[in-house]
């Protein structure tokens, strides 16, 4: 048998440590996972209350067109239903975009580090991946534009960027869209859109009217707290959506995910409450970092990338032994950092104490 050559050089996605795994390994009862930017406040009570009803008729295939959730999201965003494509998480929309536009001989441009699935899927399609290093956590947009040539098909922009949390302001994104040639699809990944509170935030949906080569990705996995159900979507021009549709699996979002997404979207109070709580706890973390003299990137998401005087792996191991799972920056391509998802207030106070304890030990030479 012969697989694609590129797959020999690739490794499967390495997920954050699983809670059960850590419990066993360290003999701990209580583990707090702050590694994958999930919502620590769970998901809407409406979904919880309705869940028993959602398991009816599971012998029937889901609605492949996702008509009900499509209608709901279209109304919510004030776009046409034909401007939407749903995926088994926005991860799958990334895959569909790559399947549709990329092939050997083509290239695609993205920041580094950014969300790894752009690169991963592009490589599988045989495209050349052009990675442009972040500058102080920011996309180097001018260099990204400079890398475009006649073989470029897709330009990936992640705002706020994972793993740095930095967002791109309105003017910068407008400039990119004005300068980007028509033959390039601009993917704007807004997985953390609901957390974005900056006044200079880009109005991506308004931009769709002006730029038919733009697609915006959003998800129910992060602020909506439905990561376990797998549903996300893309919004674009009808032409782009029509182009993508043949590359989508016919029943790619489940009946339960579609129904839960509708209920979750109806509960904007939950989004408001939990994103505000996130903001308060993030502010407290930032004050803690300032107090400790640790640098960090300004984050508009539900996580912060913190610079450490030690390796990210060392801090990761320490926190793991205390029952906290975080992401080490070494694994993300940013040495001497950790990426910390903003958790519940009590957990944030406890993890800050553990970080402080570790840094004090390091400073005293004790290790």
Ligand X SMILES: *Cc1c(COP(=O)(O)O)cnc(C)c1O
The nearest distance, CB 28 to ligand X, in angstroms, is 26
Choice from 115, 288, 296, 297 touching ligand X (CB under 6 A):
115
The nearest distance, CB 141 to ligand X, in angstroms, is 17
Angle at 39 (CA atoms; ends 37, 41), nearest 5 degrees: 150
d(CA 254, CA 63): 8
d(CA 195, CA 243): 30
**Two structure tokens written together for 22:** 């850590």
- Which residue's CB is nearer to ligand X, number 118 or number 288? 118
Touching ligand X, residues 280-339 (CB under 6 A): none
Please report the sign of the dihedral spanned by the C-alpha atoms of residue 120, residue 187, residue 254, residue 65: negative
Dihedral angle of Cα 248, 16, 311, 112, to the nearest 10 degrees: 0
Task: Specify the 3-state DSSP secondary structure of 140.
Answer: coil
The nearest distance, CB 359 to ligand X, in angstroms, is 28
Please report the sign of the dihedral spanned by the C-alpha atoms of residue 152, residue 209, residue 218, residue 305: positive
Choice from 39, 44, 83, 90 touching ligand X (CB under 6 A):
90
- Which residue's CB is nearer to ligand X, number 184 or number 231? 231
232 near ligand X, rule: CB under 6 A: yes
- Which residue's CB is nearer to ligand X, number 234 or number 323? 234
Among 69-77, 89-97, 148-156, 250-258, which window interacts with ligand X (CB under 6 A)? Answer: 89-97
Among 72-80, 165-173, 218-226, 263-271, which window interacts with ligand X (CB under 6 A)? Answer: 218-226
d(CA 52, CA 223): 23
221 near ligand X, rule: CB under 6 A: yes
# of chain residues touching ligand X (CB under 6 A)? 14
**Residue carrying structure tokens 């402080």:** 356
- Contacts with ligand X by CB under 6 A lie at 37, 89-91, 115, 158, 162, 189, 191, 219, 221-222, 227, 232
């Amino acid at each position: 048998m012969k697989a694609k050559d590129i797959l020999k050089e690739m490794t499967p996605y390495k997920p954050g440590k699983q809670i059960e795994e850590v419990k066993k390994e360290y003999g701990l009862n209580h583990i707090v996972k702050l590694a994958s930017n999930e919502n620590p406040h769970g998901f809407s009570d409406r979904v919880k209350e309705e869940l028993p009803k959602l398991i009816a008729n599971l012998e029937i295939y889901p609605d492949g067109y996702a008509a009900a959730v499509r209608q709901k999201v279209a109304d919510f965003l004030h776009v046409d239903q034909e401007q939407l494509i749903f995926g088994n998480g926005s991860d799958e929309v990334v895959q569909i975009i790559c399947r549709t536009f990329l092939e050997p001989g083509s290239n695609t441009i993205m920041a580094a580090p950014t969300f790894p699935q752009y690169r991963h899927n592009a490589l599988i399609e045989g495209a050349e991946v052009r990675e442009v290093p972040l500058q102080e956590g920011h996309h180097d947009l001018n260099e990204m534009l400079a890398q475009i040539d006649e073989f470029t098909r897709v330009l990936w922009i992640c705002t706020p960027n994972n793993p740095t949390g930095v967002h791109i302001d309105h003017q910068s994104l407008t400039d990119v869209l004005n300068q980007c040639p028509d033959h390039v699809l601009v993917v704007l990944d807004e997985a953390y859109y609901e957390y974005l509170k900056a006044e200079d935030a880009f109005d991506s949906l308004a931009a769709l009217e002006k730029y038919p080569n733009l697609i915006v990705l959003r998800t129910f996995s992060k602020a909506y707290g439905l990561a376990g159900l797998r549903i996300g979507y893309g919004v674009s021009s009808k032409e782009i959506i029509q182009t993508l549709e043949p590359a989508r699996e016919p029943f790619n979002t489940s009946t339960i995910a579609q129904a839960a997404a509708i209920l979750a979207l109806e509960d904007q109070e939950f989004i408001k409450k939990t994103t505000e709580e996130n903001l308060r706890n993030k502010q407290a973390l930032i004050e803690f970092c300032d107090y400790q003299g640790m640098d960090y990137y300004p984050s508009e998401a539900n996580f912060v990338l913190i610079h450490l005087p030690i390796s990210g792996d060392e801090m990761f191991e320490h926190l793991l032994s205390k029952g906290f799972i975080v992401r080490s920056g070494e694994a993300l391509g940013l040495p001497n950092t950790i990426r910390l998802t903003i958790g519940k207030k009590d957990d944030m106070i406890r993890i800050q104490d553990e970080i402080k304890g570790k840094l004090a030990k390091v400073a005293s030479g004790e290790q």
